[in-house]
Amino acid sequence: MSPLTDQIRALIAARQLAPGARLPPERTLAAELGVSRSRLREAMQQLISRGLIVSRRGGGNFVAPGSAERALEQAMQPLQPLAQAEGGYWQDVMEIRKSLEADAAYHAALRADDRDRQHLQAALGAVCAGAADPETQSRADAAFHMAIAEASHNLVLRQVISGLFDLMRVSIAESLSKLHLLPDTAEKLNHQHQAIAAAILAGRADDARQAATDHLCFVEDSLRRIETETARARRAGALRNKLPQGELPA
Amino acid sequence: MSPLTDQIRALIAARQLAPGARLPPERTLAAELGVSRSRLREAMQQLISRGLIVSRRGGGNFVAPGSAERALEQAMQPLQPLAQAEGGYWQDVMEIRKSLEADAAYHAALRADDRDRQHLQAALGAVCAGAADPETQSRADAAFHMAIAEASHNLVLRQVISGLFDLMRVSIAESLSKLHLLPDTAEKLNHQHQAIAAAILAGRADDARQAATDHLCFVEDSLRRIETETARARRAGALRNKLPQGELPA
DNA sequence: TCCTGATATTGGTCATACCAAAATCCGAAG
DNA sequence: CTTCGGATTTTGGTATGACCAATATCAGGA
């Protein structure tokens, strides 16, 4: 985030401030950290907007409830490799995809014309072929889901789903490669993709919706499992190394 | 996030500032928004920490390239031309709203905190009070549905629904006024709104989803009925008038 | 003991000033 | 005319001090 926010979180961790605990007044805290209140507040606003701290006008600033472990972990691990976890967006996105793509599959089954079916089958072939390159594979995956969105013949739906994929394009390849580390995942994914396509091509709308829902729930669940695992791994090897901060120039 | 950050993002959207574009100096921007630079900066820091804006000391503040919300906003952009398109497109939007808002209601029931509940109740009061002015009423209606989206605590969901409302804001007032021509519609709508709010406030997630679905199906059905009627009327009375589109400045 | 009102504390906002990095401008050298 | 280099202006980063409003705290009275 910023050096100051890390300092604040480190201070929270050092003093063992539990969720709900009140932290020093801004004026005091600013003096303690040797900065002006304005600067302190700019950092504080970031923490507030991230939900790590809640603020009550006239009352004080408090450690947000349920953010104990995060605050501690992150304070002990100043270098956060959660570039993709930035704000935990992917969970939000998956939640929406479950609804929208289920809808898209449903309507696609009802409205797909010959051209749509052709595209869908081509996309299915590509995604099931399986590419060694995660980047290529993720493209194929996106193309498959977009083919369904197209076939739904709902322009707004198509645009929104396209936007969501755009939103995730950075993390999809990475997630997908991680996903394939789990046993049998590739086969399961292929099977699910085929089930969705089959239902759509056969015009079985309800089956299509169900298949899409199952697929996305599986992906979401797998991703969640992976995240907790990597988090655990990070915790285990935490005090291993103290590598310098990476810088990204323009 | 915060009202100011939304204002800033609205300004970015209004001026069509592309990623990489430079936005006004802080002093100017602060004056434009009628706030002090300190406050402006506190909001700006939030946007910066979220990766929406990058700042170069001495250089200026810039819209971040390929930022998350940018992608969504851009995705909504191509739809603008459809806003004026003769019919058909609103059905696409309603189809999506049925899914997304049902989801939003469901998650809102599970995740709403006290502040969310307070907002929701206020919005419910406003929308049920009923305004003579269709414009005001449509605003209240949008605010109610946005309150639910906020309470879902899913940033992406909130952003998408917000985008959909933004997309429809011209036609909503019109549709709503037409809607109220049908008998008992106001009462039915109020009843539905209350049912949704009640389920959310009580934490009954499944009920909330069902209530939201019922509501939107009712609206969609009513609008469809109205359209067929007006279409019939139009066929009868040919090309009578060409009413101009009303636009409101931010 | 419990309420109540005055007082102190604290977050929210504003205005102003100064510094340093970057951008811009402008004149001299080629 | 172009180009280079330094002076000047612009702009983000930080600091200070002040005031307001919501909250918390405490003393005094019923």
What residues of A are in contact with residue B213 (Cβ under 8 Å)? none
Instruction: Report the pLDDT value the prediction gives residue A166, as an integer from 0 to 100.
Output: 65
Q: CB within 7 A of strand C: which residues qualify?
A: A 25-28, 37-38, 41, 44, 55-61; B 34-39, 42, 56-60
Among the listed residues B237, B228, B79, the one whose alpha carbon sits nearest the alpha carbon of residue A154: B79
Lowest-pLDDT choice from B63-67, B81-85, B125-129: B81-85
* A66: confidence class by pLDDT, cuts 50, 70, 90: low
Q: What is the pLDDT averaged over residues B138-154?
A: 87
Give counts: helices (H), strands (E), chain A.
10, 3
d(CA A239, CA A181): 26
Which nucleotide across the nucleic acid strands is nearest to A56, CA versus C1'? C11
Residue B46 has phi, psi (to 5 degrees) of -60, -45
Q: What is the pLDDT averaged over residues A152-170?
A: 76
Chain B CA closest to residue A103: B99
pTM metric for this prediction: 0.60
Select the more confidently predicted residue: B41 or A178.
B41
Residue A10: Cβ within 10 Å count: 15
Select the more confidently predicted residue: A95 or A87.
A95
Q: Which residue has the tokens 């709902």?
A: A154
Tell me, what's the ipTM? Answer: 0.56
Instruction: Report the pLDDT value the prediction gives residue A74, as an integer from 0 to 100.
Output: 36
**What does the pLDDT look like over A36-52, one tens digit per residue?**
999 999 999 998 887 78
pLDDT(B94) > 80? yes
d(CA B229, CA B236): 11
Among the listed residues A95, A3, A11, the one whose alpha carbon sits nearest the alpha carbon of residue A53: A11
Does the nearest atom of strand D lie within 7 Å of B39's Cβ? no
pLDDT(B79) > 80? no
Report CA(A34)–C1'(D10) in Å, whole number: 29
Q: Is any Cβ of chain A less than 8 angstroms from the Cβ of B42?
A: yes
Residue B16: Cβ within 10 Å count: 9
Select the more confidently predicted residue: B216 or B181.
B216
Out of A43, A95, A159, whose CB is closest to B75? A159
Q: In chain A, which among 83-122 make CB contacts under 8 A with chain B?
A: 86-87, 89, 92-93, 95-96, 99-100, 102-103, 107
Q: What is the pLDDT averaged over residues A87-92?
A: 65
d(CA A15, CA A105): 52
Select the more confidently predicted residue: A15 or A240.
A15
d(CA B192, CA B190): 5
Does the nearest atom of strand D lie within 7 Å of A36's Cβ? yes
Q: Do B95 and A107 touch (CB under 8 A)?
A: yes
pLDDT(B71) > 60? no
Highest mean pLDDT (candidates A25-39, A89-103, B79-93): A25-39
Could you report how far apart the first and last alpha carbons of chain B are, in Å? 19
A–B interface: beta-carbon pairs under 8 A: 105
Smallest CA–CA distance, residue A157 to chain B, in Å, is 7
**What does the pLDDT look like over A128-146, one tens digit per residue?**
887 667 777 888 888 899 9
**What does the pLDDT look like over B186-231, one tens digit per residue?**
888 899 999 999 999 999 999 999 999 999 999 888 888 876 766 6
Average pLDDT of chain A to the nearest whole number: 77
d(CA B218, CA B188): 9
Select the more confidently predicted residue: B105 or B68.
B105
d(CA A198, CA A225): 28
Does the nearest atom of strand D lie within 7 Å of B59's Cβ? yes
**% of chain B beyond a pLDDT of 70:** 73
